[in-house]
Structure 1
C-alpha cells in the first residue's frame, strides 16, 4: 500500500506548505514523491529515507505528459494511494490516476484554493477536483468555509480537517536563541521577531510602522526580521524613512534546519499577516506562529483567514488588526514591559501546541483518510 505524493511544494524550497508535505511523508509507512525541480534538490534528496522523483520542470501542471508520467510512477512503484500536496491544480489528474488503479485519493488544500473557490472557471475546476478525490482536506475552519461552496454536496460531506503539526523536539525554550543573539549583537536587548518570507502579506511593514511607538516605551527594543524575500528593499527603505534602521535587523534567508534558534532568540513573536488582493490572498493558517508557541514565545498575529486558529487570544498571545500599527504596537509594548505575563503566555502556548498540534496526530488522520 505505497502512497504516491504528487506535489510542487517540497524542500529544499522553503515555506509552510513545503514543511507540511515533507513532514507528513514521515508519517506514512511507504511513500514515493513526484515533485518539480528546484536548486539544491539532488543533495537534499540523497539524505531522504524514501525515493523522490524530480520532473525537469520547475512546476508540475496537470498536462498530458505529467499525468502520463504520474501513472507510470504508480505502476513502477506499485502505489495504490495518491496524496496531492496541494489540490489545485494537480488534483485535476485524479480521474486518470483513479483509472490507473488508485484506491484512495486525498487532495490537500491550503490558502490559494480559497480564491479558486471564488473565481468562475477555477471554481468549476475545484469542483471537479473534489469529485475525483475521496477526501479534500482543509488546514483551518476558515479555509473550509471558503472552499465548501465550490464543491459538490457529496464532496463537502467527505471534507476533513488536516492541520500541520509542530515538532516540539525542534522548537522548544532555550533551543539556541542565546547563540543567535550573541552572533547578531543583541545580548540583553528586548527582541520582537518575525520569522517569515519578506512579502507584503506577512505584514512586516506593519511592524516597522509600529516600531517608533514601541521604541518610545522600550528604547532598547530590537525588531528582528528573519528571512529573505522580494519585499526586503521596500522594508529597508521604510525603516530608513522612519529613522529606525539601527533598531531593525534583517538576517536574510535562513535555512529551514536553522530556524528554531532564531525563533528562540525572540522575547515576542509577531506576524501581523493580512488578507490582500480583495480577499484572494489570505493567510491560510501560519505554522510558524505555532512553532513560536512551541518555543515558549507569546505571539501577536494578524487577523487574516485561518490565522486565528493559531492563537488563543489573551491566553497564548493576541490576535490583532494588521492594518492598525498603533494597536499592534500596544500589544507588543504590553508584552515587552510585562515579562512575567509574556512568559506565562509562552508557557500556555507550548502546552497547547504539545496537546493539540502534534505531527503524530496529523499523521493518524492522514493514514485514516488513505485507508492505511
Structure 2
C-alpha cells in the first residue's frame, strides 16, 4: 500500500507530533510504502543529514513569504506527488491544516485520506478555520485520535462516530528500560518535567508548590527539561519564592540523552492545564516516564486521563490547585513503596498497550480498512 504522509510537523523537529509520526514511519509493516510531505519549519541545513539517511523520500515545503503561500505551494507539491507516485491513500499527520489540503486533493484526484487528530489541531477557535477543519474531517475515510478527550472534540465537529478510531500513541520502550541514571543531584529526591516552557505545561504550578513540598521533603529537587518562551519568567518565579536552589533548568536535551534523566528521577510531573485553544491531547512523556518505571503526576485536563491511570500508575490532580499538587508530590516522596508500585504498574501498562509496534499496527489496520 503506497501511503503519502502529509503533515505540518515531522522529524527531526522537536515535539510529540513529529516524534509520533516518525515512530509510525519506522515501525510500519513492510507492505506500506511511504513518502512524506511536510512543511519546512527550520532552515534547509537543519534537515540535510536526517533526510539523506531516511529510508523513504521526504519532501519539505519552505514557508511562503505571503499569507497562504505555504498552503498553495504545499498543495501544488501534494498534487505532483499524487500524479507521479500514484499513492493508494493519504495520511494527514495532523488535523489542521493539512487535512483541509487532503480533502482538496481528494476532490481533484479522488485520493482517499485518513486524518490523525491530536489536540491543538482540533480545538482551534477561529470560526472560518474551524468550519474548514470540520469540512475536511467529515470527508475523511477515517479519523484517528489520541484520547477520549479528542474523540469528544471530533464529535463536536460533526465527524460520524463510526469513523473515529481511538489509537493512542506508542513509544520505543527500550531506551527507557535500559538507561543508566544521570549522575547529577546526589542525595536528592528528584521530580522531573520534560516539556516546552509554555504556560499550559504547568512548570510554574510545580515551582509554586515547592515551598510547601520542601517543608516535608527538604531534599526535593525539581529538574525541568526543555526550552521555551517562559524560561525567564520561571527562573524569576523560583527566585521570588526562594526555591531557585532547588530547581535545575536543564534546557533542551537530545532524545538520546533523555532516558538518563528519567532513570535518575524519583517521580515525573506535568501539570498541564487548558489554555486559549491549547490543551494536552495525551502526553507522550507520561509514557516515557512509565517505561522508565517512574510514578507520574498529571493535570486533569484534556487527554491526560488516558495517559495516566489515576491511583494505579500515578496521580491526577487539579492543575490549578497548588495545595493538591504539593500534596501529591509529597505523598510520592514520603511513600516510596507506593511510588515503586505505581512505577511498576506504569511500565507494565506501557509494555502492553503503548509500544511503537502496537501503535503502528493499529494505524495500519485503519489505513487498510
Q: Check whether TM > 0.5.
A: yes
Alignment-derived partner of residue 24 in structure 2: 24
* 2:168 pairs with 1:160: no
> 1:247: how far off?
0.7
> 1:101: how far off?
4.5
> 1:291: how far off?
1.0
TM-score (norm 2): 0.93
Q: Secondary structure at the match of 2:143?
A: strand
* 2:127 pairs with 1:132: no
Cα distance in 2 between the residues matched to 1:2 and 1:108: 17
Matches within 5 A, 1:24-63: 24-28=24-28, 29-37=32-40, 38-39=42-43, 40-57=46-63, 63=71
Long gaps (5+) in structure 2: none
Q: Secondary structure at the match of 2:91?
A: strand
Cα distance in 1 between the residues matched to 2:344 and 2:225: 23
Alignment-derived partner of residue 86 in structure 1: 94
Matches within 5 A, 1:1-372: 1-28=1-28, 29-37=32-40, 38-39=42-43, 40-57=46-63, 63-99=71-107, 101=109, 103-116=111-124, 119-152=126-159, 155-172=160-177, 175-177=179-181, 180=182, 182=183, 184=184, 186-277=185-276, 280-371=277-368
Cα distance in 2 between the residues matched to 1:36 and 1:103: 20
The number of residue pairs the alignment matches comes to 361
TM-score (norm 1): 0.92
Cα distance in 2 between the residues matched to 1:321 and 1:327: 7
Cα distance in 2 between the residues matched to 1:200 and 1:95: 33
Q: Deviations over 1:86-136 (max 9, x none)?
A: 0211111223422554643111111123323x5532332122112331111
Cα distance in 1 between the residues matched to 2:132 and 2:167: 22
> 1:142: how far off?
0.9
Q: Secondary structure at the match of 1:5?
A: strand
> 1:364: how far off?
1.6
Q: Secondary structure at the match of 1:270?
A: strand
Cα distance in 2 between the residues matched to 1:168 and 1:86: 24
The answer to which of 119-128 and 31-40 deviates more is 119-128
Cα distance in 2 between the residues matched to 1:208 and 1:187: 20
Query: Does the Cα contact within 8 Å between 1:81 and 1:102 map onto a contact in 2?
Result: no
Q: Secondary structure at the match of 2:23?
A: helix
Cα distance in 2 between the residues matched to 1:15 and 1:85: 13
> 1:292: how far off?
0.4
Q: Secondary structure at the match of 1:63?
A: helix
Cα distance in 1 between the residues matched to 2:356 and 2:289: 16
4+ aligned runs moved over 6 Å, structure 1:
58-62
Cα distance in 2 between the residues matched to 1:211 and 1:47: 44
Cα distance in 2 between the residues matched to 1:346 and 1:91: 38
Query: Does the Cα contact within 8 Å between 2:39 and 2:74 map onto a contact in 1?
Result: no
